[in-house]
Amino acid sequence: MMTFVWGALAGILWGALAGFLNASISKRALSKNSANALLASNLIRMAVDLAALGAVFLARKLLPFSADAMLIATAISLSVVTMVFAFRLAGKGKKGLW
């Protein structure tokens, strides 16, 4: 049971780290105010997501805890951090309109 908990905690941290990296990539692209920069940032963000999930998958036999729990928690954490970033970004945009 504890192997699932430790795996989930490790996945949350790993996914959050990748999510914050994605957020900084998006911020940098938005500051350039270019459609090409946004397209490139989306491709880079997908690569970061794949790398984060692929690293867990490839290291599954080396992990001292549940790789399944870590993989699921990583995916959830990536999604949550991305949603929080998007909502914060949308909130800043609304303040600027009024």
User: What's the confidence (pLDDT) of residue 92?
Assistant: 72
Question: Is 6 inside a domain boundary?
Answer: no
Question: Is 51 inside a domain boundary?
Answer: yes
Question: Residue 53: which domain range?
Answer: 22-59+66-92
User: What's the confidence (pLDDT) of residue 94?
Assistant: 59
Question: Is 13 inside a domain boundary?
Answer: no
Task: Give pLDDT tens digits for 22-59.
Answer: 999 999 998 898 889 989 999 999 999 999 999 999 99
What DSSP string describes 44-75?
Answer: HHHHHHHHHHHHHHHTTTT-SS-HHHHHHHHH
Coil vs helix vs strand at 15: helix
Question: Is 11 inside a domain boundary?
Answer: no
Task: Give pLDDT tens digits for 1-12.
Answer: 889 999 999 999
Rg, Å, the chain Cα set: 16
